[in-house]
């Protein structure tokens, strides 16, 4: 039977502001920095499906089960797919990778820990999905103009951070950004500029001869 587990991670800036959030008074007006106390929280969930395998990989019926499960889970960009198998069966990985490829996704190496044990000849396909939200927003706990400590309003940053959490394609980028490939892309980025500079001016060849006669 499919099942899932959930873990939560705080974005890096939220960890820095944890002390500021804990020390807030009754009106939550102890933050005297220009940082928003309410930061995106990234939640990670693991969904698993156990499949029966053979030496030749997945049977057609199991492939259909997996395809239907992917469709039901609305598999999308940002999801990570991994396989936990009792044996390292390359054919099983190839079958799962083929179905995942229909969604433009690849199978990751390694798998997260999940509950339950696998039976003999079984493989567990795991979807790891992340989502981001900003708990506590909006925060209108302080609406008075009185602010003797010149503190930042508790609602400060709520709109920006909530929109960021809602729009980001891969919420894990809030924890750790994408790593570069190490390849230089300056040449590629300057192709358009070089083409523009090297192109002859439009008037370099002189004016074209235009006849005004013979018109209707």
Range of the domain at 33: 3-134+167-174
Greater model confidence, 28 or 3: 28
Q: Is residue 93 part of a domain?
A: yes
Distances (CA, A) of 60 to 99, 166, 177: 12, 38, 38
> What average pLDDT is seen over the chain?
81
Q: With a cut of 60, say whether residue 167 has pLDDT above it.
A: yes
Contact 26, 145 (CB under 8 A): no
Q: Is residue 39 part of a domain?
A: yes
Q: Is residue 189 part of a domain?
A: no
Least confident window among 10-19, 57-66, 101-110: 10-19
Q: Considering its fold, how many domains does the chain have in total?
A: 1
Residue 80 parent element (H or E): strand 80-85
- Count of CA atoms in the C-beta half-sphere (13 A) of 195: 6
Q: Is residue 116 part of a domain?
A: yes
- Please give the model's pTM, rounded to 2 decimal places: 0.61
What's the pLDDT at 25? 40
Q: With a cut of 90, say whether residue 150 has pLDDT above it.
A: no
Pairing of strands 57-58, 80-85: unpaired
Q: Is residue 188 part of a domain?
A: no
Q: Is residue 27 part of a domain?
A: yes
Residue 133 parent element (H or E): strand 122-133
Question: 76: domain CATH number?
Answer: 3.30.1330
Q: Is residue 115 part of a domain?
A: yes
Which token pair is 62?
A: 């199991």
Q: Is residue 198 part of a domain?
A: no
Mean of pLDDT values over 196-205: 78
Q: pLDDT digit string (tens) for 62-120?
A: 999 999 999 999 998 889 999 998 778 899 999 999 999 999 999 998 888 888 888 88
Q: Angle, nearest 10°, between helix axes 90-101 and 60-72?
A: 40
Greater model confidence, 92 or 26: 92
């Amino acid at each position: 039977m499919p099942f899932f587990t959930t873990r939560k991670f705080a974005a890096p800036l939220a960890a820095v502001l944890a002390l500021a959030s804990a020390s807030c008074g009754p009106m939550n007006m102890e933050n005297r920095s220009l940082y928003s106390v309410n930061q995106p929280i990234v939640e990670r969930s693991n969904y698993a499906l156990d499949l029966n395998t053979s030496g030749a990989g997945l049977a057609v019926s199991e492939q259909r089960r997996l395809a239907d499960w992917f469709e039901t889970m609305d598999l999308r960009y940002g999801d990570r797919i991994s396989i936990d198998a009792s044996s390292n069966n390359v054919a099983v990985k190839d079958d799962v990778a083929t179905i995942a490829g229909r969604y433009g996704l690849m199978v990751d190496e390694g798998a997260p820990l999940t509950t339950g044990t696998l039976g003999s000849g079984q493989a567990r396909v795991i979807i790891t999905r992340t989502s981001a939200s900003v708990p506590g927003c909006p925060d209108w706990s302080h609406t008075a103009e009185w602010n003797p400590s010149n503190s930042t309003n508790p609602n400060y940053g709520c709109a920006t951070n909530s929109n960021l959490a809602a729009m980001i394609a891969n919420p894990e980028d809030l924890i750790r950004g994408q790593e570069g490939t190490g390849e230089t892309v300056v040449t590629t980025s300057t192709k358009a500029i070089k083409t523009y500079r090297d192109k002859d001016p439009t008037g370099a060849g002189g004016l074209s001869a235009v006849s005004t006669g013979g018109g209707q």
